[in-house]
Structure 1
Amino acid sequence: MDNFTAPLQGLRILDFTTLLPGPYATMLMADMGAEVLRIESPNRPDMLRGLPPMVGSAEPVSAAHATINRNKKSLALDLKNQEAKKIIERLLSEYDIVIEQFRPGVMEKLGFGYQALSELRADIIYCSITGYGQDGPLKMRAGHDINYLALSGLASYSGRQDSGPSLNGMQIADIAGGSHHAVMAILAAVYHRQQTGRGGHIDISMTDCAFALNAICGANALADGQDPEMEMELLNGGSFYDYYCTADNRYLSVGSLEPQFAEAFFLGIGHPEWMERVLESDQQESLKRDIAATIKKKKLREWNIIFSEIDTCVEPVLNFSEATESKLIQERQMIANAVTKSGDYLLQINSPFKFNGKKNKKHQAGSTLGADSQSILKSLGYSTQDIDRLLANKVIA
């Protein structure tokens, strides 16, 4: 990476997270040039490491783990061992950002909470990602993405009236909530530290972040006191903005909301007269039924031909393989190679960021547990004898 594709070069992050929210956040920052060192338990490995399929020949790794933990180093360290604190203290001379994902109080019990580490390094930026935050009535409660979406209100109007809330293909609260908000907050804290010299503790609640994603519908509900409902809002099925099944049981996405797009859409399906029904609230259900019946008469390929030359916000629903092979994804360089420690090459989803027209096209795949333990300790001044002793005492792995 050069300076254009690595704008976060110089940021050094200790990553105490597992699974998805924290690791995805640090993946984004590592992709942009930050140096990320994962502090992993040798006794309780990250569950993502065991998620199939496994890829690579010499040392097979989980495809998901190899992607989400790419461009990072791994130090396997038993945080419950007293000698671990000495290692963390040495690391803090070089790493000034910490991100952790334990329940509130866990890092404090281990001796690595914000207060303890800020005494060692006053300008430390310390980001905690949890389901419900560092305070509040649910702070110690277990949760997953589905629970955060449920308690945020988002799930209450995401789905179909005849079947209820729908599951999503990706983890909205984990990624859009935890990961993305953590990155934004950390970079804001970095800017603040540059101006003031002070670090601080960032409290990321995935439920808070999911609640913030209510954006438009939430703003409306606070203004008029009316809760958003399934298939009753402009963008959740309450208008003709929706997915429609084709004759070959594929789907067409129709987002033709603006008048010029709506006119082109209805002309494209052969019913320009239906434009008059768009703004009639009592016509929405029957309009959607008529659109559905019309779309059902042709195969997806036929609709693609009709709408390929019409700029009307109508696109086919592609499966992942089709999306990967599409001209759009290929030309936007969204597929990249990653190399494993053993030299195998893996295809991965690339970073979505382009800086000055450039994007990193090659990554270091997420490696095995503790792959960098010895080299990291050597860089901190530990001798070979010290490292052998730490290995023998199971402080590191």
Structure 2
Amino acid sequence: MSGPLNNLKVLDFSTLLPGPYATMLMADMGAEVVRVESPTRLDLVRVLPPMVGKVSAAHGYLNRGKKSIAIDLKKPEGIEIVKQLVAEYDIVVEQFRPGVMARLGLGYEQLKEINPNLIYCSITGYGQTGPYKDRAGHDINYLALSGLSSYSGRAESGPVPLGFQVADVAGGSHHAVMGILAAVIQRSATGVGQHIDISMTDAAFSLNAMSGAGFLAGAPVPAPEKEYLNGGGFYDYYETKDGRFLSVGGLEPQFVQKLCLLLECPDRMNQALSQKPEDQAAFKSMLAEKIKSEDMVYWTEFFAKEDVCIEPVLNLDESVKHPQMVERNMVIQVGGEGGIDQIGFPIKFSETPCAVEEPGAILGAHTAAILEGLKYSEEQIESLQKQRVIKRI
């Protein structure tokens, strides 16, 4: 396999989004990832519409490049298989509630006895400690508790449910990969693995980079449309004549100056750069009126060659066809000719480019091959199948 992580082997016990997204990133970068799945309790993403043939589009994406072994972890024979795998794999990713893996005999303390070099990453909503550690939650709950939702939205209507999972992906998935790779670097120096405790709420809380830093330094509690970057200034979205929107983000003086010249209102520059709320409100009102006077295509063409940090709000159909996305290879075909179109890998490596070959595998597609690699005979594999310890294709 290509990619900079092609010397890493990962056992992935996670489901749904956070863990699978993290291990997808690692698989994209060349790691060998084996999903350890239940033969009877499906990962719901496998049946999440829309489907591409018999494959869920989401599952085909989130689990691309991974192998699948179906093992019943409630049976001793299944636990024994995992323990044999742990001796050969150097990273475990799990997403159960705290204590579940330990009760199965697969907790970090138990598995590091088998493999002292093991890096073991646990991804949960609230972490392995604290009063909420056993509490159920979803992305919207983690964002709510983190404080992020309190100043994201509109003053009149409050926070809005986002169309993408910030705490799950930017929080859980990305921080998990960061933690795992940091532990890999540490292990290369010391030979010792470790347990990584990822809380999606902690990770979301850490995203309070600007407003959180200001508040802790003595600034007022941030609120919707009160901060310069959340609608309190002219940095915002503006509706066009045809009901579409433009994003206006040029905060720096050189961008403001050019914008005011282009819109033939140079006298408004000082107003746009003012910190006074009344000046910002006046400039925003003027900007909104001007932008509402023409449709989105007009403004897109108007600003196309101007360096003012203004771009149209595209829908996904428009985004995947945008020249920038096309040039950056951000939509790829996975599975060969006639395969599935998927989102491309966002990191470009000059020496170890990433190659995605197959979408998410059928449940148990690699069970037999993996067991054969552990020296199980055909008779043993067939016996485990009959006992419903495993499922193979």
- The match for 1:337 is 333
Q: Residue 172 of structure 1 aligns to which amino acid in structure 2?
A: V
Moved more, 222-231 or 292-301: 222-231
- The match for 2:227 is 233
Match of 1:298 among 266, 276, 294: 294
> In the alignment, is residue 287 of structure 1 matched against residue 286 of structure 2?
no
Asked if the contact 1:36–1:71 (Cα under 8 Å) also holds between the matched residues in 2, the reply is yes
- Displacement of 1:361 in angstroms is 5.4
Structure 1 CA distance for aligned equivalents of residues 295 and 370 of structure 2: 57
Structure 1 CA distance for aligned equivalents of residues 112 and 87 of structure 2: 12
Structure 2 CA distance for aligned equivalents of residues 182 and 190 of structure 1: 12
SS in structure 1 of the partner of residue 361 of structure 2:
coil
Q: Residue 334 of structure 1 aligns to which amino acid in structure 2?
A: M
Asked if the contact 2:24–2:62 (Cα under 8 Å) also holds between the matched residues in 1, the reply is yes
Q: Residue 302 of structure 2 aligns to which amino acid in structure 1?
A: I
Residue identity (%) = 54
- The match for 1:87 is 81
Asked if the contact 1:14–1:37 (Cα under 8 Å) also holds between the matched residues in 2, the reply is yes
Match of 2:25 among 24, 28, 39: 28
Q: Residue 34 of structure 1 aligns to which amino acid in structure 2?
A: A
Structure 2 CA distance for aligned equivalents of residues 273 and 378 of structure 1: 76
Q: Residue 107 of structure 2 aligns to which amino acid in structure 1?
A: G
- The match for 2:164 is 170
Structure 2 CA distance for aligned equivalents of residues 308 and 149 of structure 1: 35
Match of 1:321 among 314, 317, 324: 317
What stretches of structure 1 of length at least 5 have no aligned partner? none
Match of 1:260 among 254, 257, 262: 254
Structure 1 CA distance for aligned equivalents of residues 33 and 262 of structure 2: 51
Asked if the contact 1:42–1:78 (Cα under 8 Å) also holds between the matched residues in 2, the reply is yes
Asked if the contact 1:17–1:23 (Cα under 8 Å) also holds between the matched residues in 2, the reply is yes
> Quick one: structure 1 residues 106 and 320, their matched pair in 2 at CA, closer, same or farther if it must change by over 3 Å?
same
**What whole-Å deviation, never above 9, does each CA across 1:213-258 have from its counterpart, x for those lacking one?**
0011101000015211111111111110001000011110100100
- The match for 1:51 is 48
- TM-score normalised over the length of structure 1: 0.96
Asked if the contact 1:350–1:361 (Cα under 8 Å) also holds between the matched residues in 2, the reply is no
Cα RMSD, aligned residues only:
1.3
What stretches of structure 2 of length at least 5 have no aligned partner? none
**What whole-Å deviation, never above 9, does each CA across 1:116-153 have from its counterpart, x for those lacking one?**
10111111100000000100010000000000000000
SS in structure 1 of the partner of residue 228 of structure 2:
coil
Asked if the contact 2:4–2:352 (Cα under 8 Å) also holds between the matched residues in 1, the reply is no
- The match for 1:192 is 186
> In the alignment, is residue 250 of structure 1 matched against residue 247 of structure 2?
no
Structure 1 CA distance for aligned equivalents of residues 27 and 344 of structure 2: 12
- Displacement of 1:270 in angstroms is 2.6
Moved more, 170-179 or 260-269: 260-269
- The match for 2:62 is 68
- The match for 2:218 is 224
Asked if the contact 1:67–1:365 (Cα under 8 Å) also holds between the matched residues in 2, the reply is yes
Asked if the contact 1:351–1:359 (Cα under 8 Å) also holds between the matched residues in 2, the reply is no
* 1:15-164 → structure 2 map (5 Å cutoff): 15-56=12-53, 60-164=54-158
SS in structure 1 of the partner of residue 237 of structure 2:
strand
> In the alignment, is residue 276 of structure 1 matched against residue 270 of structure 2?
yes
- Displacement of 1:268 in angstroms is 2.1
Asked if the contact 1:24–1:68 (Cα under 8 Å) also holds between the matched residues in 2, the reply is yes
- The match for 2:304 is 308
Moved more, 263-272 or 74-83: 263-272
Q: Residue 342 of structure 2 aligns to which amino acid in structure 1?
A: Q
Structure 2 CA distance for aligned equivalents of residues 51 and 191 of structure 1: 36
> Quick one: structure 1 residues 361 and 298, their matched pair in 2 at CA, closer, same or farther if it must change by over 3 Å?
farther
Asked if the contact 1:252–1:316 (Cα under 8 Å) also holds between the matched residues in 2, the reply is yes
Asked if the contact 2:30–2:354 (Cα under 8 Å) also holds between the matched residues in 1, the reply is no
Asked if the contact 2:28–2:356 (Cα under 8 Å) also holds between the matched residues in 1, the reply is no
- The match for 1:12 is 9
> Quick one: structure 1 residues 93 and 344, their matched pair in 2 at CA, closer, same or farther if it must change by over 3 Å?
farther
- Displacement of 1:93 in angstroms is 2.2
